[in-house]
Structure 1
Amino acid sequence: MVNIKTLLFLLAIVLGYISVLWLQQKPNKTFSPPEPAIACSVISLEETITPVLGTKHFVVAAYADNRDGRRTRIIGIINRNSGDKLYCVFCCGNRTFFTTTAEVQQHSDHFGFPYVTTDLLCEMAPVCKSSYVMVRGPSPSVGNGARFLPIQNQHQQEDEFPYEFTVCISSLFGNYNNVLQFIQTLEVYKILGIQKVMIYKTNCSQTLDKVLSYYKEEGVVEVIPWPITTVLNPSHGWNYAEHKGDLHYYGQLTTLNDCIYRNMYSSKYVLLNDIDEIIAPYKHRDLHELMKDLSSQNPKAGVFLIENHIYPKNVFDETGRFSQQAKWKNVPGINILEHVHREPDRKEVYNPTKMIVNPRSVEQTSVHSVLKHYGESYRVPPDVSKIVHVRVPLQGQLSKEALIRDTKLWEYADEVIKKTNEVIKRVIESES
Structure 2
Amino acid sequence: MCRIPHDCNATHVTLLTEPRKEDQTHKLDQTPKQDPSKPSNHTWLLLRNRNNHLSDKDKMKFNFTVCISSLFGEYDNVLQFVQTLEMYRLLGVDRVVIYNTSCSQNFDRLLQIYSQEGFLEVVPWPIDKYLNPSHGWLFSQSGGDLHYYGQMTTLNECIYRNMERSRFVLLNDMDEIIMPYQHNNLMSLMNALQKDYPNTGVFRIENHVFPKTKFDPSGRFRLPQWNGVPGLNILEHIYKEEPNRKIYHPHKMIIRPRMVEQTSVHEVLKASGEQVKVPPNICRIIHVRTSIREPSYTDFQMDKRLWDFQEQLVPSVDAMLKKMGLLNQRGRAD
From 254, 257, 261, give the equivalent of 2:156. Answer: 257
Residues 313 and 392 of structure 1 are in contact (CA less than 8 Å); yes or no, is this contact kept in structure 2? yes
Q: Distance in 2 between matches of 1:382 and 1:292?
A: 17
Aligned to 1:365: 263
From 247, 256, 266, give the equivalent of 1:349. Answer: 247
From 394, 402, 408, give the equivalent of 2:305. Answer: 408
Q: Distance in 1 between matches of 2:152 and 2:180?
A: 26
Q: Offset of 1:215 from its aligned partner?
A: 1.0
RMSD value, Cα: 2.4
Would the alpha carbon gap of residues 207 and 372 (structure 1) be closer, same or farther in structure 2, given more than 3 Å must change?
Answer: same
Higher-RCO chain (CA-CA 8 Å, sequence separation at least 6)? 2
Alignment of 1:134 onto 2:15: yes
Q: Any unmatched runs of 5+ in structure 2?
A: 24-38, 329-333
What is the letter of the counterpart of residue 250 of structure 2?
A: P
Residues 11 and 47 of structure 2 are in contact (CA less than 8 Å); yes or no, is this contact kept in structure 1? no
In structure 2, the residue corresponding to 1:389 is in which secondary structure? strand
Would the alpha carbon gap of residues 369 and 138 (structure 1) be closer, same or farther in structure 2, given more than 3 Å must change?
Answer: farther
In structure 2, the residue corresponding to 1:187 is in which secondary structure? helix
In structure 1, the residue corresponding to 2:287 is in which secondary structure? strand
Alignment of 1:327 onto 2:225: yes
Alignment of 1:298 onto 2:197: yes
Q: Distance in 1 between matches of 2:58 and 2:296?
A: 49
Q: Distance in 1 between matches of 2:260 and 2:45?
A: 21
Alignment of 1:36-55 (within 5 A): none
From 260, 265, 274, give the equivalent of 1:376. Answer: 274
Aligned to 1:420: 317
Query: Please, what TM-score do these two structures have when normalized by structure 1?
Result: 0.67
Among the aligned pairs, what percent are the same residue? Answer: 46
* Structure with greater proportional strand content: 1
What is the letter of the counterpart of residue 371 of structure 1?
A: L
Q: Distance in 1 between matches of 2:84 and 2:314?
A: 11
From 233, 237, 244, give the equivalent of 1:339. Answer: 237
Residues 71-102 of structure 1 deviation map (CA, whole Å, 9 limit, x = unaligned): xxxxxxxxxxxxxxxxxxxxxxxxxxxxxxxx
Query: Please, what TM-score do these two structures have when normalized by structure 2?
Result: 0.86
Aligned to 2:32: none
Residues 269-313 of structure 1 deviation map (CA, whole Å, 9 limit, x = unaligned): 000000110000011111111100100100111100000010000
Q: Offset of 1:243 from its aligned partner?
A: 1.5
Q: Distance in 1 between matches of 2:46 and 2:193?
A: 33
Q: Distance in 1 between matches of 2:21 and 2:102?
A: 38
Residues 142-169 of structure 1 deviation map (CA, whole Å, 9 limit, x = unaligned): 9x99653523415646644111000001
Would the alpha carbon gap of residues 242 and 141 (structure 1) be closer, same or farther in structure 2, given more than 3 Å must change?
Answer: farther
From 182, 188, 192, give the equivalent of 2:81. Answer: 182
Q: Offset of 1:351 from its aligned partner?
A: 1.3
Would the alpha carbon gap of residues 299 and 154 (structure 1) be closer, same or farther in structure 2, given more than 3 Å must change?
Answer: closer
Task: Select the structure of larger CA radius of gyration.
Answer: 1
Q: Distance in 1 between matches of 2:66 and 2:167?
A: 11
Q: Any unmatched runs of 5+ in structure 1?
A: 1-120
From 107, 112, 115, give the equivalent of 1:216. Answer: 115
